Amino acid sequence: MTVVAARLDDQVVDSDGRSVVLVGQDVSVISALATAALRLAEDPITANDLGRRLADLFGEPAHGSVAEATGIVVASLLARGLLAEVTAG
Partner 1 sequence: MAMADPIRLDAMGVAIDLHLADGRSETVRPLVEAAWSRCLRPDDGEEPDVSLDVVLGEPSDEAGADADADRVVAAATSEHLMELLSQEVTVAAVSVRAGELVMLHACGLADPRTGRTLLLVAPSGTGKTTLARTLGHRWGYVTDETGAVELDGRLLAYPKPLSVVTEGEHKVQMSPDELGLAHPPGDLTVAGIWLLDRQPGVDRAARERVALVDAVALLAEQTSYLTFLEAPLTQLAELVQTIGGVSKVTYSDAEQLRPLVDRFLGGAS
**Contacting residues toward partner 1, per CB under 8 A:** 9-16, 18-22, 24-25, 27-29
State the helix-helix crossing angle for 47-58 and 66-79, rounded to 10 degrees.
110
Whose Cβ is closer to partner 1: residue 25's or residue 87's?
Answer: 25
Closer to partner 1 by Cβ: residue 15 or 87 = 15
- Length of the chain in terms of residues written: 89
Query: Which residues pair with residue 13 across a beta bridge?
Result: 19
State phi, psi for 61 to the nearest 5 degrees.
Answer: -65, 150
Least distance (Å) between residue 41 CB and partner 1:
20
Show Cβ contacts of residue 67 under 8 Å, excluding neighbours closer than 6 positions. Answer: 47, 48, 51
Q: How far is the CB of 40 from partner 1 (least distance, A)?
A: 19
Residue 2 or residue 76: which is nearer to partner 1 going by CB? 76
Smallest distance from partner 1 to CB 83, Å: 19
